[in-house]
Amino acid sequence: MAGRINDEDVKAVRDAIPIDSVVSEYLQLRNAGGGNLKGLCPFHDEKTPSFQVSPSKGLFHCFGCQEGGDTITFVMKIDHLSFSEAVERLAARAGITLRYEEGGYNPAQQRGERIRLIEAHRLAAEWYAEQLAASAEAEAGRIFLAERGFDQAAAVHFGVGYSPRGWDHLTRFLRGKGFSDKELLLSGLAQEGRRGPIDRFRGRLMWPIRDIGGEVVGFGARKLYEEDGGPKYLNTPETPIYRKSQVLYGIDLAKKEIAKTSRAVVVEGYTDVMACHLAGVRTAIATCGTAFGSEHIKILRRLLMDNGSARVIFTFDGDAAGQKAALRAFEEDQKFAAETYIAIAPDGMDPCDLRLAKGDEAVVDLVEPRTPLFEFALRQIVSRYDLDTPAGRAAALDEAAPVVARIKNSGAQHEVAVQLAGLLGILDTQFVVRRVAQLARWARERGGRGPAPDRRQRGPQPPPP
């Protein structure tokens, strides 16, 4: 059983790291006057910043949800750690060696579960990176990167590594560092084999996935060999420290630039993030094997501070899958105060391919916001109907009007309704505007659950063009 951390050491940890430097890794802080800072609370959803930090006192407090405390409390709550785990993480950051009241300090036995899993991932990331840089077997990985315009310096910057093709290379390495088989299986770095744990990732190019605080919590692994019967990309499974719906690849590198510029670029893959950052678009991030969703929005909102002038630009492939991803992103659009846009290269290339073919400037130009996401979504809906017939126009209006009705800003809603009338070829613009307003009113009356009247309730049909 872990001993109690020495009280003097706890105080030393609390005093060593300014609370604002810790909090600012998770959300954007701005001057609130009187020496205090403010931001959007990370512990509950809010539109107006009510979360305050007092650097002079070393305390935080949210006037909305009443959460509060010191640096240790913040780390406990934001990363779901025990008291000792939070102290241990901050102590490691400050370079403070902790003393324990009972039985001395034994890191292998006394660190909390999350700290142990984080440490295993840190060591694994370093080991994978060493394999990519030095092992002969990793030549396939180095060629893969070079063919996509990434040199060794780029690999080092993003921590890219290589997992050898053997069954248990990493497993044996981590065992040698004192990790138990139970910890290796729990971490997702190993899986059960016929004779015990074996490496989960074998013969693949490895991207470390870090949380917003910069800790490695998982990996994305790209297939390199034809004989590999697994999927093209294999990600860490859900673990106590990794939830794919709650992580964004590149967020640790992009967070400061996102907060500074009030702008984020959402791309589709690891190499796209690399290409964007190397081209100068240092606000690029990507989801990890899942659609962009509400948990990802929460991460970005804390950095963008719900600034109405903020911009979120989605880049998707021009194929059907990319269009489907864009429509899924639009479903979450109204959870942003930021304006959302979509960027698709004319020839359908992703940022990585575009950088290879046309250089850095083409990537920078691609992500300049031009097409609002709602406009793209409406065009995709309308394109599925025959607008030369009254029935086609009516059906398109039935599907598109509820989309416009979800726009919260009434002025923008009216303007988009007018645009929709034009897209549908309905000359009676006011008919469409009234239809959208009616659906929006129904949604408000239903408590924001969305305009759900069926077709029998939709009212009069649109007039002929």
pLDDT of the chain, 465 residues: tens digit per residue: 356 888 999 999 999 999 999 999 899 999 999 999 999 999 988 888 999 999 999 999 999 999 999 999 999 888 877 888 889 889 988 989 888 876 544 444 445 788 899 999 999 999 999 999 999 999 999 999 999 999 999 999 999 999 999 999 999 999 999 999 999 999 999 999 998 999 999 999 999 999 988 899 999 999 999 999 999 999 999 999 999 999 999 999 999 899 889 999 999 999 999 999 999 999 999 999 888 888 898 888 888 877 778 899 999 776 667 777 777 777 777 777 788 899 988 787 899 999 999 999 999 999 998 888 888 888 888 999 999 999 999 999 999 999 898 887 788 899 999 999 999 999 999 999 999 999 988 878 876 555 544 443 444 455 555
Extents of the domains making up the chain: 7-110, 113-242, 251-377, 384-457
Closest by CA position to 154, among listed 26, 277, 31: 277
Closest by CA position to 110, among listed 144, 87, 130: 87
CATH class (in words) of the domain with range 113-242:
alpha beta
Give the tokens for residue 354. Answer: 């575009």
Span 248-257, pLDDT tens digits: 999 999 998 9
Residue with tokens 């005093």, as numbered in its chain: 15
CATH assignment of 251-377, among 2.102.10.10, 3.40.1360.10, 1.20.1050.10, 3.40.50.300: 3.40.1360.10
pTM of the model: 0.82
For residue 430, count CB atoms less than 10 angstroms from its CB and return exposed for 0-12, middle for 13-18, buried for 19 or more: exposed
Q: In what order do the strands lie in the sheet with 263-267?
A: 284-286, 263-267, 311-315, 339-343, 371-372
Does 7-110 carry CATH code 3.90.580.10?
A: yes
**How far is 133 from 141, CA to CA, in rounded Å?**
10
Span 181-236, pLDDT tens digits: 999 999 999 999 998 999 999 999 999 999 988 899 999 999 999 999 999 999 99
